[in-house]
Structure 1
Amino acid sequence: MATCPRIQPMACKSLASHPFRNSSPISSISNASMFSRATYPTASTVHRSKTFACRSVSIASSNFTWEDAVHISLPESFQDDPSDLTGYFEKVKLCNRGSDMQSEFLPFVIDDQIVGHVHHGFAYHLKKYANVFTFPRDDSVRVGACLSLHESLKTPEDRTHAVGNVVKCLGEEIIPGVRNEMYPVTSSFGAPVFFSLERAAAPYFGIKVYGVQMNGYVEKDGKKFLWIAKRSQMKQTFPGMLDELVAGGLPEGISCGENLMKECEEEAGIPRSISNKAIPVGAVSYSDIKDYSYKRDVLFCYDLKLPESFIPKNQDGEVEGFRLLPVTNVANVIRRTQLFKHNCALVIIEFLFRHGYIKPECLGYLELLQSLKSGTCF
């Protein structure tokens, strides 16, 4: 039986207790009888007619248009309160689900270090690979029980090869969206790499995953504007939703800064002569549990002030288009809808704090600020 005496219980901050959890997403709306929580525009909504102020918009899944997004962003489209942080709290909650499911996961341990968490249902699929994984002797999830790699797998290369073969054997039915992109498996950022794992498998093994996300902004006449991307409908995840100007996961063997410049060029056509001026400004984190998936992500945030004359142009086919919107309008979209890819909303909320758009006078200011680091990834 595999036992792990050094394992400590997982810590996870819960957002369930924040004072806005049962509040309506809009404090005051014109013709409120036309609105309800069910008719609030989201990217996952089934096809039905939406009424925004005096205008009807039809949204089918993520097939909203730029015209829809721009209209929703206008201050005059709703008579709501920009200082109401409820809509921001809801976006944080979307990235931090399932804390009550933690007991259903086994710690994944290598060399006495917890590197991930595996749901006992997913562990069932791994049991046929006894030459790769070591399991508790029964199916219960007990204190001290853990999943580990077979003692014969000593080197990172051996572990990468063995686990990679398991991922291939499990196939798309168990682990969908294989990208042939490898992520390092570590106990913490910058720690030694135990082995490398296919990106699509990362949430099923509950490993810590890191990424870079950049807010590209422009200043005109003393006002700030953000470049916003709309993801391609062909993307495997969150197709057609709104996104930062540049974002990407951090694969093995590349630094955050170098990866950001690479993503800038691929996603927005930003040359290195401009992207090398991007400023690292912090990070957000979250822990999201759903079914067998346990996402423990840290996103390193960057700001890049762009020339007014610069127009982004996608190079890799992953972006449908770009729009330059006033920061206040982007904030309205995040507060009012779920049109943004969930984790991107967190990065923009963090931008709103740093640039003074969310003020200490707003009820819940400190709690929202702290909630942007709800993950256990540091």
Structure 2
Amino acid sequence: MSFLDRIAACNNADLGQFEPWYVGTTRAGFLHRDFLPMIAVRPDLFGHRDGGWYLEPSLDTPAKRTAAMRDFLLELRARGLFGKAWRDEPYKVAPHFNDPTLLEMERAAVPWFGVRAYGPHMTGYVRKDDGLHIWVPRRSYDKPTFPGELDNTVAGGQPANIGILENLIKECAEEAAIPRKLAEQALAVGFIAYWNQSGRQLKPDVMTCFDLELPQDFVPRAHDGEVHAFELWPVQRVYETVRDTKQFKYNCNLVLIDFFVRHGMLRADDRDFFAIVEGLHRTQPSER
């Protein structure tokens, strides 16, 4: 196993299985060919031409699109499509984070429509005499997604109508009981991007990476039920666990690999260095 294996696991999408869908002339996402029958039954909402699917053009404002899409998604929910994943949490639909909002969509539906999602992922670390240590949470065993897997110190999806830093501060309080004054010291240090496919779902996602150096006497505390427990690990243990196992949630691996690069644990003369760094920033899908 290697870090390149972790990157490849995040970048497994085959766009040959998908068709693009548009809002006006803007590509908003991708629809898997096996999901299309659920779309095709609503010609009043989705039209098909020139190899793509188009949202009904009379829905000419973000508010109209949001309302119509929500009604449709509630129909799919009633048919059991989303299972326990439904959150009543709207995500912004737009090609890029700062682009105008095309519409807002329930979080659980975003990967079904191949919409790019965002979110902050923070590595909380401590400096000790014997080197860096990282606070590693284990996800609650009751979570509907990836229960019991290891995670980044604090992480979350990006709801509509909130900034990324403000969202991180909120998640710090909710997930780890990190007070606002301390959370505000988190530094945005870059991003990772990947194209991940899970069956009919596509995640062409971008995650903003943050570092937060925590005081030696601070202990994060599981607060909202998202985390089972926190443990403070020497960074070398985190390094080896990411490299050699699948214990961390698949995309959290990439955030930690980025941390290892930036903190000098991967050297420029490492034979995989350039492939690793390039692989952390796949804003476009890999050629297959």
- Give TM-score, length-normalised by structure 1: 0.73
Q: Which residue of 1 aligns with 2:129?
A: 221
Q: Which residue of 1 aligns with 2:97?
A: 189
Higher-Rg member (1/2): 1
Q: Which residue of 2 aligns with 1:249?
A: 157
Q: Which residue of 1 aligns with 2:5?
A: 90
| Residue 222 (structure 1) shift | 5.4
Q: 1:268 aligns with which of 176, 193, 202?
A: 176
Find the residue that maps to 2:206 and give its secondary structure.
strand
Find the residue that maps to 2:255 and give its secondary structure.
helix
Q: Which residue of 2 aligns with 1:146?
A: 52
The answer as to 2:71 corresponding to 1:165 is yes
| Residue 153 (structure 1) shift | 0.8
Name the aligned partner's letter for residue 174 of structure 1: L
Q: What does 1:122-133 align with in structure 2 at a 5 Å threshold?
A: 122-133=35-46
Q: 2:30 aligns with which of 84, 95, 117?
A: 117
Conserved? CA contact 1:232–1:319, under 8 Å: yes
| Residue 315 (structure 1) shift | 1.3
Q: Which residue of 2 aligns with 1:6?
A: none
Q: Distance in 1 between matches of 2:215 and 2:105?
A: 39
Name the aligned partner's letter for residue 122 of structure 1: F
Residue deviations 1:256-288, cap 9 Å, x none? Answer: 110000000000000011000000000000001
Q: Which residue of 2 aligns with 1:205?
A: 113
| Residue 169 (structure 1) shift | 0.6
Q: Which residue of 1 aligns with 2:61?
A: 155
Find the residue that maps to 2:98 and give its secondary structure.
coil
Q: Distance in 1 between matches of 2:58 and 2:36?
A: 19
| Residue 220 (structure 1) shift | 0.8
Q: Distance in 2 between matches of 1:237 and 1:323?
A: 21
Name the aligned partner's letter for residue 110 of structure 1: V
Conserved? CA contact 2:121–2:210, under 8 Å: yes
| Residue 212 (structure 1) shift | 0.4
Q: Distance in 2 between matches of 1:360 and 1:311?
A: 34
Conserved? CA contact 1:286–1:374, under 8 Å: yes
Q: Distance in 1 between matches of 2:173 and 2:57?
A: 43
Find the residue that maps to 1:243 and give its secondary structure.
coil
Q: Which residue of 2 aligns with 1:72?
A: none
Q: Distance in 1 between matches of 2:198 and 2:176?
A: 32
Q: Distance in 1 between matches of 2:75 and 2:30?
A: 20
Q: Distance in 1 between matches of 2:116 and 2:89?
A: 15
| Residue 174 (structure 1) shift | 2.3
The answer as to 2:14 corresponding to 1:106 is no
Q: 1:330 aligns with which of 238, 242, 267?
A: 238
Conserved? CA contact 2:24–2:55, under 8 Å: no
Name the aligned partner's letter for residue 185 of structure 1: V
Q: Which residue of 1 aligns with 2:251?
A: 343
Q: What does 1:10-25 align with in structure 2 at a 5 Å threshold?
A: 25=1
Name the aligned partner's letter for residue 48 of structure 2: F
The answer as to 2:192 corresponding to 1:277 is no
Find the residue that maps to 2:111 and give its secondary structure.
helix
Find the residue that maps to 1:184 and give its secondary structure.
strand
Residue deviations 1:69-126, cap 9 Å, x none? Answer: xxxxxxxxxxxxxxxxxx2111111111133xx1221111112111101112212111
Q: How many residues align?
A: 283
Any unmatched runs of 5+ in structure 1? Answer: 1-24, 26-86, 137-143
Q: Distance in 1 between matches of 2:182 and 2:82?
A: 38
Q: Which residue of 2 aligns with 1:139?
A: none
Q: Which residue of 1 aligns with 2:81?
A: 174
Name the aligned partner's letter for residue 71 of structure 2: N
Conserved? CA contact 1:167–1:175, under 8 Å: no
